[in-house]
Each structure stands twice: as C-alpha cells, then as structure tokens.
Structure 1
C-alpha cells in the first residue's frame, strides 16, 4: 500500500511539474523576443521565471490561500507587455524606455497590492469585482486561453500558415488525451495530462527528428531590470499600473473557484494572504523583467481533469520547478519540449475551465433585458480578441494597449454595467409580465 501511495504521489508530482512548466516556459521567452533582448538575457529570464514560479506556488499553498493553485504569470499582463513591446516603433519609444516604464508601473502595482493586503483593504474589492463581473472574467479568460492554445497546436510556420503534419499530430493528441480522461479507468484518467505530454513528446521526436526546439545551456546569473531600468514614462506607467490593479480580479475568481471545488467557503484571511504573496512575487518578477504573478483560475480545470486534490504533489512539483530554475542543464532539457505538444494537452485540460465559468452563473436565468449584463461584455471582449491591434492605429498610442485587449475591456464594461444599472428591477419586471 505504501509503495502504491508513493508511486501515486511521484506521478502526481511529475504531472504538476509538467503542467507548471508548460504554462510557464513560453511566457519569458516571448516577452524577451518582443523586447528584442539577447538570447543570453532570454535564458536568464527563463531561469528566473522557473525559480520564482516554483517558490510562488509553494508560498501560496503554504501561507497564502492554501489551495493547490498554480501561481503563474498573469495572462492579462502578459498580453499588455507583449503589446507594448511589439508596438514600440509606433509609440516612438525604445525598448528600454518602454521596459523601464513597465517596470515602474508593475513595481507600483505590486506594492499597492501588498499594501491593500497589509492594511486589510482588500475587503472592498468584492464590491467592484461582483459575481457577475467574475463570471464575465472567467468566460473571457477561457476564450483567450483556448485561442492561444489552439493556435499553438497548429505549429505556425514563418509565413503564418499551419504546419499540416504537426497539426494532425496535435489533433490526434487532443483526441488521445480526451479519451484517456473520459473513458480510461480513473487511476489512468487522473494522469491523462502527464501521459499526453510524454507520449506526445516521444511521438513528435520520432515523427519530426531534428525539428525540436533548441536551447543552449542557460547561465546561472540573474541581472536586474533586463528590459530597462525604471523610469518616469508616465503613459506606460499608467497602462502597466492599471493592468496590474485589474489583475487582482483574478485572485478573487481563483480562490472562490477553488473553495467551491473543495466544498468550502473562502475566508477573508485567505484572500488577504493571497493578495500579499501575489504582490510580493510580482515585485520580484518586475525586478527580473518577468510578467507579474496571479493565481491561475485555469488550474481549476486541471484539478477537475486529474481529480487529485491533495496538496503534497503540488508542493513537490513546485520544489522541482524552482530547482530546475537553478540547474541550467535541466532548464535546457525541458525547453526542448515541443510547444505544440504542450499546447495540445493544455487545450484539453482547460476545456474544464468553460465548465467553471458556466457554473459560476449558479443557475441564473436571463430575459431579453438582463441578458445585456452578460452578453455585452463577453461578446465585446471576444470581438476585440479577434481584431488586429493595427486597427486601433489611428487612436492615441496610450489607449491602444487597453482597447486592443478584449479581456480588459470586457471586464471594465461589466464593472460599469453592474454599477450604473439596477438589474433587479428588470428581473422583477419580467416576473410581473409573466
């Protein structure tokens, strides 16, 4: 029995490690590319990312919200940083000027988040991020992530078209993992994500020899502010700070969803502690040019897929991830994992996130009037996600990062609609006419 328990813990920990790594590796590398840093700096950012992501998971699970939730790089802030880096020329600024402004804004946002936690002011946030706002956020996050993973599955060529053989392998892998999850015995289905990554990686290497991702050994040396030293570019600071503050909505959604999964009610202290550690590690992230942290709501989909709610494998996975960040050869090995394989497996894992978003409606019934509170922000966000940022070129450059981000605009519209409209009167009116 002990051997079975030990083996279960070992495989569960490896599964957590691959899940954490697959959600982490592409972020620092893509940010480095957007800001045109050297390969050595990109590898340093990757090592720092693995180290701090592992530590952030450990501290959140130990003293923060105390749930096994991946504390990873914020998808919202990732999009903002990529957009700012890729539009540097149109903004008329250098990469280091933008990077320095981003660093200043994110340091301020991280410090502000910690102050809210220390002084107990986080209790005001649920008044802004109401249940309906959180529902809108969950739907938009689901759509954003699924589009990222779907495009990543296709193995885009330099011409921007799909790589057909790679895409076929990705589709087969999606079907394989889905069948394991649904049809296989529970003991196997619990490890569908891990099995999918290992099988997919082996299949990719056998089918496409020599086409795997290459990564020279990373140097064990961390440099401060690789994207640019903090400065006073007020417009960039404002964009980064606002996005950093809005990022706090993710903590509320994640902790509430985790509590529901465990059949518990999240306590105010859990939110306060979670905000503090998110702010702390976001400050660390800003020092090393990384995207700030947030509890991943999408982890709920992973937990629902694996049905493993024990925290021990989560802690072990976090320790291994942090250790890999300190061992350059291990970092270099894991970076060779084909990203199309990781995206295909995560596509299946995050299908569960749509269920989390749908469940957050808690059986709500809409009529022709009240449907606006959900449909307007969600559909606006989806429309913006599918609109090229170049469309907003004629507008002021500092508005472009906001308007081009469907997640930000959808959540903002939802907050406004919830504050300026008494939706209860429309519900009553519908009842009165029935």
Structure 2
C-alpha cells in the first residue's frame, strides 16, 4: 500500500511537471520574438523562466496560499506585453524604450502590491473585485485560454493555414484524454493528462519526424533588464502599472476557487501571504525579462481533471522544473515536446475551468434587467478577443493595449457596472 502511494506521488509529480512546463515554455519564446531579442538572451529568459517558475510554485504552495495552484506567468500581462512589443513600429518607440517603460510600471505595481499585503489593505481591494467581477473574470479567462489552445493544437502554418495531419492528431489526443477522463477507472483517469502528453508526443515523433522542435543550441547570455532599462515613458508605465494591479484578480479568483474545490475556507492570512509573494515576484520579473507571476486560476481545471489534490506532488513538480532549468540537457529534451500536443492536452484540462466559472453563478437569479451585469462585460470581452488588433490602428496609441485585450476590458466594464448600478433595486422591482 505504501509502495502504491509512493508511485501515485511520483506519477502525479511528473504530471504536474509537464503541466507547468507546457504552460511556461512558450511565454519567454514569444516575448523574445515580440521584442526582437537575440537568441542567447531568449535562451537566458527561458532558463530563468523555468527556474523561477518552479521556485515560485514551491514557495507559494509551501508558505503562501498553501494550495496546489501553479504560480506562473500571468496570461493578462503576457497579452499586454506582447501587444506593446508588437506595436513598437506603429507607436514610434524602440523595443528598449517600450521594455523599459514596462519594467518601470511593473516595478511600481509590484511595490504597491506588497504594500497592499503588508498594510492589511486587502479588504479594500476585495470591495473592487466583487464575486460578480470574479465570475466575469473566470468566464473571460476560460474563453481566452480555450481560444489560445484551440488555435495552437491545429498546427497553423506560417501562411495561416491549418495543418490537417497535425490537427487530426490533436483531435485524437483530445478524444483520448477525454475518454480516459470520463470512462477510465480512477487510477487511469487521474493521470489522463500525463498519458495524453506521453502518447501524443510518441505519435507525433513517429508521424512527423522531420517537423520536431529543434533542441536549444545557443549559449545563454545573462543580462539584467533584457527588455530595456527602466525609463519614464509615462504612457507605457501607466498601462503596465494598471495591468499589474489588475493581475490581483488571479489571486482572489484562484484562492477562492481552490478553497471551494477542497471544501474549506481560505483564511485572510492566506490571501495576504500570497499577494505579498506575488508582489515580490512581480518586482523580480522585469529584472530578468520575464512576464510577472500570478496564481494560475486555470490550475483548478487541471485539479478537476486529475482529482489529485495533494500538495506534495505539486511541490515536487515545481522543484523538478527548477532542476530542469538548471541543467541544459534537460531543457533541450523537454523543448522537443511538440507545442501542438501540449495545446491539445491543455485544451481538455481547461474545459474544466468553464465549470468553475459556471458554478460561480449558482444561486444567482438573473432577470431581464440584471442579466446585463454578466452578459455585457462577458460578451463585449469575448467580442474584443475576436477583433484583429489592426482594427484599432486609428485609436489613440495609449488606448490600444486596453481595447485589444478583451479580458482587461471585460473586467473593467464589470467593475464599473458593479460600482455604478444598484442591481438589488432591479431584483426588488422584479419581485
């Protein structure tokens, strides 16, 4: 029995390792491309990303919120940084100027975040991020991630066309993981994510031997503030600072969802410690050219898929990721994992996140009037996600990063609606 328990812990740890790795490796590569970084600097940011993501997971799970929730690169800030980097030519600023403005804004956001935790100001922030705002955030995060991973698993070519053979393999992986999750015995169902990655990786290597990912061959070159030294580009600073504070949505939503999943009430101290540590990691991130960290709300979907809620496998998975980041051959091996396979498996894992969002509105009765508090921010946010950024070319430059990010706009609209409309009055009128 003890041997079986150890085996479950071991396999669960590797499952967490692959999950965290798949959610991490693409981020520094995409940022390097958006800011036109040299290959050796991109290699440095990728290794730093693996090392510090593992460390952040262990610290948060051990001393922070103390839940098995991945601490990873914020999807919200990732989108903001990509938009700013890709818009450099149209804005008329150099990559270094934009990167430096982002660094200044994130450093300021990290300091303010730590102050919020240190001086017990969390209750004031919670008044802004109300349950309805969190519900809107969960729905929009689900749509944003599903869009990303659905497109990613199709193997879209440089010409913008679907790679049909790769797409069929991805769909087969989705079906395999879904069947194992729904129909498989518990011992198999709990490891459906890991099985999907391994089986998909093997079949991809057999079917597409010439299209595998090339292992890293460059020598990493260490550099502080690789995206640009902090400066006073106030427009860029404002965008990065605001997005950094809005990143607190992830912490509140993640801890709340995890506590409900584990059927326990999160303490005020858990929120405080987690927010303080997230602020510290936010300060560290621009020094290494990384997207700031945040508790991954999407981890809830992973937990619901695996049904393994213990902290030990999560902590071991984070420690393994740090070890891999310190040993180049391990990075080279994991870097050969096909991105389409990872996206297909994550697509299934994040379907569970929709259930988390849906459950957050249970007990809430909507009338023809009050439905606007949910429908308006969610549907406008989803609509903006499907509008090409180039459509906002004539909009003032400083507004473009906001309008091209449906998640930010949806949450902002929700906050405004919750603070400006007395929804209880409409419910009373209906009754």
Query: TM above 0.5, one fold?
Result: yes
Report the counterpart of residue 53 of structure 2 in structure 1: 53
The question of whether the paired residues in 2 share the 8 Å contact of 1:106 and 1:240 is answered with yes
Deviation at 1:218, TM superposition (A): 5.5
Task: Describe the superposition over 1:29-53 as per-residue Cα deviations: whole angstroms up to 9, x where unpaired.
Answer: 0000000001111111000000110
Q: Secondary structure at the match of 1:223?
A: coil
- CA distance in structure 1 between the aligned counterparts of 2:283 and 2:321, rounded to whole angstroms: 20
- CA distance in structure 2 between the aligned counterparts of 1:363 and 1:338, rounded to whole angstroms: 42
Report the counterpart of residue 42 of structure 1 in structure 2: 42
Report the counterpart of residue 142 of structure 1 in structure 2: 142
Superposed CA RMSD in Å reads: 0.8
Alignment TM-score, normalising by the size of structure 1: 0.98
The question of whether the paired residues in 2 share the 8 Å contact of 1:111 and 1:279 is answered with yes
The question of whether the paired residues in 1 share the 8 Å contact of 2:216 and 2:335 is answered with no
The question of whether the paired residues in 1 share the 8 Å contact of 2:40 and 2:220 is answered with no
- CA distance in structure 2 between the aligned counterparts of 1:5 and 1:268, rounded to whole angstroms: 33
- CA distance in structure 2 between the aligned counterparts of 1:407 and 1:223, rounded to whole angstroms: 32
Deviation at 1:222, TM superposition (A): 3.1
The aligned runs of 1:282-297 (5 Å cut-off) are 282-297=282-297
Report the counterpart of residue 316 of structure 1 in structure 2: 316
- CA distance in structure 2 between the aligned counterparts of 1:251 and 1:349, rounded to whole angstroms: 20
Report the counterpart of residue 421 of structure 1 in structure 2: 421
Deviation at 1:363, TM superposition (A): 2.3
The aligned runs of 1:101-112 (5 Å cut-off) are 101-112=101-112
Q: Secondary structure at the match of 2:152?
A: helix
The question of whether the paired residues in 1 share the 8 Å contact of 2:39 and 2:218 is answered with no
1:31 pairs with 2:31? yes
- CA distance in structure 2 between the aligned counterparts of 1:145 and 1:260, rounded to whole angstroms: 22
Deviation at 1:220, TM superposition (A): 5.6
Q: Secondary structure at the match of 1:113?
A: helix
- CA distance in structure 2 between the aligned counterparts of 1:271 and 1:182, rounded to whole angstroms: 34
Q: Secondary structure at the match of 2:245?
A: helix
1:212 pairs with 2:212? yes
Q: Secondary structure at the match of 2:210?
A: coil
- CA distance in structure 2 between the aligned counterparts of 1:126 and 1:218, rounded to whole angstroms: 45
The question of whether the paired residues in 2 share the 8 Å contact of 1:219 and 1:328 is answered with no
The question of whether the paired residues in 1 share the 8 Å contact of 2:156 and 2:163 is answered with yes
Task: Describe the superposition over 1:80-103 as per-residue Cα deviations: whole angstroms up to 9, x where unpaired.
Answer: 000000010000011111011111
1:231 pairs with 2:244? no
Report the counterpart of residue 68 of structure 1 in structure 2: 68
The aligned runs of 1:141-180 (5 Å cut-off) are 141-180=141-180
Report the counterpart of residue 2 of structure 1 in structure 2: 2
Report the counterpart of residue 386 of structure 2 in structure 1: 386
Runs of 5+ unmatched residues, structure 2 = none
Runs of 5+ unmatched residues, structure 1 = none
Report the counterpart of residue 113 of structure 2 in structure 1: 113
- CA distance in structure 2 between the aligned counterparts of 1:221 and 1:184, rounded to whole angstroms: 47
Please say which of residues 362-371 and 18-27 is displaced more in the overlay: 362-371
